[in-house]
Structure 1
Amino acid sequence: MATLQEALSIALDHQIAGRTAEAEELYGRILDAAPEEPNALHLLGLLHAQSGRLDRAEALIGRAAALCPGAGDVHANHGKVLRALGRDGAAAQAFHTALSLCPESPELALSLVTLDQAAGRHDRAAAAARRLLTLQPELGEGALRLGTSLRHAGAFADAARWLRRAVRLRADTAAAWHQLAIALMRLRDREAVPVLRTVIGLDPANVQARLNLGRALRDAGRHADAALAFRSALALDPGLGVAHDLLAKMLAVAATPAEAAAVAGRAVRVEPQATATWDLYGRMLRRSGRPAAAVAAFDRALALDPGMAAAMANRANAIGDPARIADCLTCHDRAERLAPDEPMIRWNRALVLLLAGRYREGWEGYEARWSIPGFPTKPRGFAQPLWQGGDISGRTILLYEEQGRGDAIQFVRYAPLVAARGARVVLEVGADLVDLMRSVTGVAEVVARGAPLPAFDVQCPLVSLPRAFGTTPETIPARVPYLHADPRRAAAWRPRLAGPGPAVGLVWAGNPVFPGDSVRSPGLPALRPLLAVPGVRVYGLQVGPGRDALAGFTAPPGFTDLGPEIRDFADTAAIMANLDLVISSCTAPAHLAGALGVPLWVLLAHGPDWRWLLERADSPWYPTARLFRQPSPGDWTSVAGDAAAALAAFRDAGQARRTSGVV
């Protein structure tokens, strides 16, 4: 009769030879005779594991491991079965025990690091990876696993060091290069871009690498290249929502709002539960002149997350319809309740209050701009206090341009009032405004931005002066002119601008960097009806990027482009002093004409800038202004038609005055 050891040997021979039924029967007989025989338990468990009976295998090998706590191979096999069952935590513990018993096993170290990485136990994974690296320093797997664990643990510099070693040892392994690229991205290292290109060269179908390349290019400020990378990811996987979202965000910076809106629209169709993408979609729709669609997008975002303050505030901004000002303010109020410490929400609410003519509340809220991260203008950090309307007699005050040139022109009207309170006024503006601003009454000194400032006691940005004076629509200091053209420059232009019929200056676009400029600027082609009015001499006063519209534009004989001859605002003022009328979009030259007291027509979008208020055809800021408002969003055709009809009447009225001898 065979001994126990002889029976085990025979059963193992059956198992090795593939005679599994015979082996299983013999292991069973051995265990009937000796239920706690660890070798039989272990080997029968392996037999069950090989045939897919994992639960039975785990029970048998687990009993064997308990009976033989010093058997590293038993604990290792127990770990493998537990891992196959999806019990990764228990499997990791079994591998830890096995590795402590068999410290020279690279297979155990690799199994352990794989499990710990998958479970997010990156410190333990790093320790196992160091063991693997010690056992197999020349293979690169240890460096790759250690670098990956360190990256997940947030030690990006150390991770990059080990991952560089990994790619030296495994230069043809895309995974190693990709892990290095991710670590470099977290370090804001520009080398991430060429490393990611290496990944894509090794693995052209790697969508994630293309997404990361787009992110790295975005972080490097290469927005157009980033958009191409995101597009390449979408070419491989058109249904990838995150790629649509990233591309839309990139196009919001690098392309037109309409293009960004189209991509964001595809993104929400792919992932309709993506709240932030609905918000982005709404913002791009608004910027591309589609406020109703934008409101609908924000409504979808709010349906998904009613507490999303940004979407509520953006909905308020998108309403746009002057007839819905109450709805707009209600949304702003809700947004402010949801995020009471968010300065952008307070500032946007202030803009609506100002548009509605609620100036006292509006000026207070407008001060929130100084707390907005990324606001175009930053606090100057002056040690001198902000003047807020108190006694200033005998003191020197610095008034300074803060935002756009139009704001400086509009609010410099307060400088004489400040001087009248007994202050010495120093005015700081952009260099192209210096000569013009020297004409302001009460200003003792005009300094170009960036030049050394004289000593001063208090300071105030020009846009904060209405608050300091407690301005309401009824108390706006609207006496014009408060700016004056240089007499010599004006005289030099006079012969050039003389002739029969009214002389009209035309400005058709603002600064394209200004958010929403595409909505507020009609562009030259839309204003062709104005150029077609006979008997009128039209002079183009457009400077800057808006002049691109002249390329390929066939202008009528009565149009003369003066843009190339305009060096600064003093030149524009000298020209305007010789004109009968200025017609402008909502941009700085409109404010200049109004400040000079020149007859002014302003062409306004349906949802205008706050300073033009609502509904009225005149402006309390500029007595010589007449406002032409879009009847519906984007309808420049009606605006141009109304202005052209008014221009013909203006021409006829001028002719009638000349005929009657009235000047």
Structure 2
Amino acid sequence: MATLDEALAIALDLHTAGRTEEAETLYGRILDAVPDEPNALHLYGLLCAQGGRLEQAAGLLGRAVAQRPGQPEFRANLAMLHQACGNPAAAAAEYRAALRLCPDSAALAFPLAGAARQAGQGGLALAAYRRTTLIQPDLAEPMAQAGILLRYAGRTDEAVSALHRAVRLRPDHGEAWHHLGVALQRTREPDAVTALAHAVALLPEDATVRLNLSRAHYDAERWSAAIAALRSALALDPANDGALELLAAAGRRAGGEEGAVRTLRRLLRLRPDTANGWHALSLSEPGALGSLRRALVLQPDHRSALSGLANRLRDRQKITASLRLHDRAVRVQPSSAEARWNRSLARLLAGDLTGGWEDYEARWGVADFPTRPRGLPQPLWSGEDIAGRTILLHEEQGRGDAIQFVRYAPLVAARGARVLLEVGADLVPLFRGLPGVERVFARGEPSPGFDWQCPLLSLPRAFGTRLESIPATVPYLTADPARTAAWRERLAGDGLKVGLVWAGNPQFAGDRERSPGLAALSPLLAVPGCRFFGLQLGPGHDELARRTMPPTFTDLAPAIRDFADTAAIMASLDLVMSSCTAPAHLAGALGVPLWVLLSHAPDWRWLLDRADSPWYPTARLFRQPRPGDWATPAEEAAAALAEQAAAYS
């Protein structure tokens, strides 16, 4: 009679010879005789796995491991079986146990990384990939996968280093070139295009690689190259949302929007059922609603189309309908910073400041938001007890935003905090002397230590500001007395003294709509009994060279060095008339009479359907009744100015 070892040897010979039924019979007899024989359990389990009986195999291999926990081969095979059964977490646990028994085995470390990655255990996966590369440094694949995980974790510099090593080890690794290009693109490195071009050559059928190459060209402002790469991506994936949207944007930037629109319309003729295509077309149709509505008919949960339609309804002052769509967009994608940011603007415009401030915090996650997060290690102050602590308040976005919200700095000091204020250099002289602010300094200068930090536009949320609790006491900024005295003497004379500003920063996305331009002010300049003083700086000042101005107009721009000069001039005037731009906020902060000409779709801070501002008690608002109509508010302002000039005289 054969011994146990002889029986196992015979069964294994049958197994390896493909005589699985005979082998299974013999394995069964061995286990009938010795139920816990580990080698028989292991081999029988492998035979069951080969036959697709995974559940039975898992049970047999599990029993084998229980009998021989120190046998790495048993654990590795059980790990592979767990992975085949769709249980990567259990697989990772077995691979880890096996690797502890054989710590120098790349053959265990590498599959452990894959199982951990499938199980969502990113830290373990990265550690296992790195361990594999330490054990066997000439392997490109674990190096590439480590780089990919580092990129996903936002550790871009480490990712670039690992991916560079991977492509040096294996120059034909298309996936590594792709992720290297994306990582380099994130840091705005010019080599991103080269890396992505390599990836395209190695992965010619991958539309995503071509899309990322087009984004790198787009970021480098190579519009033609971006469009070519996008068209090749769309040839592979005609309904690719990102490619369609970027094609429309690149077409606009290249000055060939008509060509981009033709491409989109051609795609839509081929695929009229693609919601992504209709949404992309809407980007080339500012103000139009039809393409967005078509996209939502096809895909009611299209987040970008929901937000886009909501924004356009907001601009048409259909605020209730806009908010309903914004709520839907947030429900569809609660993690979308853009959806919450868009909703914040509609909420604030509607006067829902409480909800608006909460959504407004999502701004830092918006891809094209004009200000990037500071990355300060100190915690964001959100209204906690701050007595005896030091806080840094710092500027963000535009100068007008800083002027509007610096009103909160003395309120923070009133809570017992030591307040430091960091702003643009041109604002430092203006903000010095704010009550309770210990130090005002320019961005880039060394700052003292601090315990808390808060961007200026997060302060209303920290104070729980509602419409009825806006801190609107003015003036909260004051002009330098010496400069003011000099300007009062210089501007002395008869007539109502009116300062004029007609344009904002053209880099602002909506400046064309919010800036009336000098020509629109013609009715004002014709009002008798007034002396007009140009306070316009920046590109808008160039309009003066193209117009003949009346003798009642004096251009003061050459004498203005900073906001403190502008403040001193404003303090010497009877009235400031401005578009929606920083000087309007400055006049309001100084408590100077202020008239603002507003577009039909105003910035959220001016609210809707009111002629006054809860932020600036001295302000009067003149609104467009319809988009593009500057004549109506200018004529209304001119009539009001004539009444004031007559009363002044």
Please give the range of the TM-score, normalised by the shorter of the 2 chains: 0.5 to 0.7
Query: What residue number does 2:609 align with?
Result: 615
2:459 corresponds to 1:465 = yes
- Displacement after TM superposition at 1:595 (Å): 0.1
Aligned to 1:408: 402
Q: Tell me the equivalent position of 1:653.
A: 647
Q: Does structure 1 retain, via aligned residues, the 8 Å contact 2:211–2:230?
A: no
- TM-score normalised by the chain length of structure 1: 0.62
8 Å CA contact 2:425, 2:443 repeated in 1? yes
Structure 2 CA distance for aligned equivalents of residues 342 and 212 of structure 1: 21
Query: Which residue of the other structure, out of 521, 531, 540, is the alignment partner of 2:534?
Result: 540
Q: Distance in 2 between matches of 1:564 and 1:349?
A: 41
Q: Does 2:421 correspond to 1:422?
A: no
Which residue of structure 1 lines up, in the alignment, with residue 220 of structure 2?
A: 221
Structure-1 residue corresponding to 2:476? 482
The corresponding residue for 1:250 is: 250
8 A Cα contact 1:425 1:443, kept in partner: yes
Give the C-alpha shift of residue 492 in structure 1: 2.0
| 2:546 match | 552
Shift of 1:534: 2.6
Partner of 1:271: 267
- 1:320 is matched with 314
State how 1:495-574 maps to structure 2 within 5 Å. 495-574=489-568
By how many angstroms is 1:385 displaced?
A: 1.7
Deviates more, 1:434-443 or 1:618-627: 434-443
Letter in 2 for 1:249: A
Report deviation, 1:341.
0.9
User: 2:524–2:634: 8 Å Cα contact kept in structure 1?
Assistant: yes
- TM-score after normalising by structure 2: 0.64
Asked if structure 1 preserves the Cα contact closer than 8 Å seen for 2:427 and 2:564, the reply is yes
State how far apart, in whole Å, the 1-side matches of 2:231 and 2:362 are: 41
User: 1:95-494 alignment to 2 at 5 Å?
Assistant: 215=214, 218-219=217-218, 221-223=220-222, 226=225, 248-253=248-253, 260=257, 262-272=258-268, 273=272, 275-286=275-286, 291=287, 293=288, 295-321=289-315, 323-494=317-488
C-alpha contact 1:396 1:457 (8 A) present in aligned 2 = yes
Distance 2:452 2:246 in 1: 46
> Are 1:427 and 1:443, in contact at CA under 8 Å, matched by a contact in 2?
yes
CA distance in 1, matches of 2:455, 2:526: 42
Matching residue's letter, 1:358: D
Shift, 1:495, TM fit: 2.7
- Partner SS, residue 320 of structure 1: helix
CA contact (8 A) 1:267 1:277 kept: no
The answer to whether the 8 A contact 1:264-1:277 is kept is: no
Unaligned ranges ≥5, structure 1: 1-153, 163-180, 197-207, 234-239, 656-663
Aligned residue number for residue 633 of structure 2: 639
Whichever residue aligns with residue 220 of structure 2, its letter is G
The structure-2 alpha-carbon separation of the partners of 1:488 and 1:500, relative to structure 1 and needing over 3 Å to count, comes to same
Per the TM alignment, residue 212 of structure 1 is displaced from its structure 2 partner at its CA by: 10
Q: Does the 8 Å contact 1:264/1:280 carry over to 2?
A: no
SS of the counterpart of 1:357? coil
C-alpha contact 2:314 2:346 (8 A) present in aligned 1: no
The residue number in structure 2 matching 1:172 is: none
Aligned partner (choices 583, 594, 607) of residue 589 of structure 1: 583
**Partner SS, residue 549 of structure 2:** coil
DSSP 3-state at the match of 1:474: helix
Name whichever of 643-652 and 547-556 sits farther off. 547-556
State the identity as a percent.
58
SS in structure 2 at match of 1:276: helix
* Partner deviation per Cα, 1:325-364 (whole Å, 9 max, x = no partner): 1100001011111111101111111111111111111111
Residue 311 of structure 1: CA displacement? 0.8
- Contact 1:320 1:606 (8 Å CA) reproduced: no
Deviation of 1:424 (Å): 1.4
Q: Is the 8 A contact 1:160 1:183 kept in 2?
A: no
In structure 2, relative to structure 1, the CA distance for the partners of 1:190 and 1:359 (3 Å cut) is closer
* Matched position secondary structure for 1:440: coil
Q: Which amino acid aligns with 1:633?
A: P
* 1:214-245: CA deviation from partner (whole Å, max 9, x where unpaired): 94983461346658979999xxxxxx999997
In 2, Cα distance between the equivalents of 1:479 and 1:333? 34
Q: For 1:227 and 1:517, how far apart are their aligned partners in 2? A: 26
Residues 648 and 226 of structure 1, relative CA distance in 2, 3 Å threshold: farther
Contact 1:393/1:423 (<8 A) preserved: yes
Tell me how far apart the structure 2 counterparts of residues 582 and 284 of structure 1 sit (CA, whole Å): 37
- Give the deviation of 1:415 after TM superposition: 1.2
C-alpha contact (below 8 Å) 2:520/2:634 kept by paired residues: yes
* Separation in 2, partners of 1:245, 1:357: 32
Q: Extract unaligned runs of 5+ from structure 2.
A: 1-162, 198-206, 233-237
Deviation at 1:469, TM superposition (A): 1.0
Structure 1 residues 253, 567: closer, same or farther in 2, change over 3 A? farther
In structure 2, what residue type is equivalent to 1:331?
L
Give me the whole-angstrom Cα distance separating, in 2, the residues matched to 1:254 and 1:213: 18
Query: Hey, what's the Cα distance between the residues in 2 that align with 1:627 and 1:645?
Result: 14
Q: 2:394 touches 2:456 (CA, 8 Å); kept in 1?
A: yes
Instruction: Give the Cα–Cα distance (whole angstroms) in 2 for the partners of residues 245 and 354 of structure 1.
Output: 28
* SS of match in other structure, 1:639: helix
Q: Which deviates more from structure 2 when the two are superposed, residues 596-605 or residues 554-563?
A: 554-563
Match of 1:586, SS? Answer: coil
Match of 2:93 in 1: none
- Is the CA contact 1:399–1:428 (under 8 Å) kept in the aligned structure 2? yes
Give 2:600's aligned residue: 606
Deviation at 1:512, TM superposition (A): 1.6
Q: Is the 8 A contact 1:398 1:426 kept in 2?
A: yes
- Could you say what secondary structure the match of 1:271 adopts? helix
Structure 1 residue 429: deviation in Å? 0.6
1:270 corresponds to which letter in structure 2? R
Alpha-carbon spacing, 1:550–1:264, altered in 2? closer, same or farther (3 Å):
farther
Contact 2:245 2:283 in 1 (8 A): no
Range with bigger deviation, 448-457 or 618-627 = 448-457
1:444 maps to amino acid: E
More deviation, 593-602/641-650: 641-650
Structure showing greater radius of gyration is 1
Counterpart Cα distance in 1 of 2:379 and 2:181: 42
Of 373-382 and 508-517, the range deviating more from structure 2: 373-382
The 3 A distance-change label for structure 1 pair 395 and 232 is: closer
How many residues are matched? 456
Pair 321,430 (structure 1): closer, same or farther in 2 beyond 3 Å: closer
| CA spacing shift, 1:216–1:327, aligned 2, 3 Å | closer
Contact 2:577 2:594 in 1 (8 A): yes
Change in Cα spacing, 1:532 to 1:268, as seen in structure 2 (3 Å) is farther
Q: The residue matched to 1:551 in structure 2 has which SS?
A: helix
Query: Aligned partner of 1:621: which letter?
Result: W
| Counterparts of 1:218 and 1:525, CA distance in 2 | 38
Mapping 1:61-76, distance limit 5 Å: none
My pick for the range that moved more, 600-609 or 489-498, is 489-498
Contact kept in structure 1, 2:529 and 2:646, CA below 8 Å: no
Distance in 1 (alpha carbons) for counterparts of 2:295 and 2:302: 8
Quote the Cα distance in structure 1 between the aligned partners of 2:360 and 2:179: 42
CA distance in 1, matches of 2:410, 2:192: 56
Distance 1:183 1:454 in 2: 40
Contact residue 485 and residue 577 of structure 1 kept, 8 A: yes
